[in-house]
Amino acid sequence: MATTQNTYTGNGSTTNYSFTFEYIKQADVKVTLDTVATTAFTFANATTLAFTTAPANGAAIRIFRDTDINTLNATFFPGSAIKAEDLNTNFTQSHFAVQEADFDVVTANTTAESAVTTANSAVTTANGAVTTANSANTKSDAAVATANTADTNASAAVATVLSVTLTSDCFKYSNVNE
């Protein structure tokens, strides 16, 4: 795949960064700092950009080519001379645009594959959470059943104690009258 960009990490002091791709016009060379477009640079030479202020320490610097495809560099008219230079420039413009599109497709595919992997991992985690929740619900239902049984047993025990107490009191009072 053709080189259509160079990336760097700012260190807070370096202002000049080189790039290794061809371009037709300087206006086709673009820069982002931490994904935000910037025009705070000039060309130190044909393959080096000089930033007005050094990019911050840790800043993601992306220098890339974005060939203008809205207008052809050379237009041909009936009866006019066709120069090889103009033909080559138009073909180069198309060639660069295809390279950039190819890079974008590869990047998009890589991002999509990563997103699918992340989504699959999230589904696995969610399924595990559902299993855990279902298990907790089953245990909760069992705990409620156990609590209900304990409540029933406690009520029966209270009834038995009351019955025994009542019988005991009746027996005690019946012996007093004799």
- The band of 168, judged by pLDDT with boundaries at 50, 70 and 90, is low
Please report, rounded to a whole number, the percentage of residues in the chain having pLDDT higher than 70: 93
Buried b (16+ CB within 10 A) or exposed e, 105-118: eeeeeeeeeeeeee
User: Is the backbone of residue 37 left (phi > 0), alpha (psi -120 to 50) or beta?
Assistant: beta
* pLDDT of amino acid 19: 98
- The band of 161, judged by pLDDT with boundaries at 50, 70 and 90, is confident
The answer, yes or no, to whether residue 163 has pLDDT greater than 90, is: no
- What pTM does this model have? 0.67
* pLDDT of amino acid 170: 64
The answer, yes or no, to whether residue 175 has pLDDT greater than 90, is: no
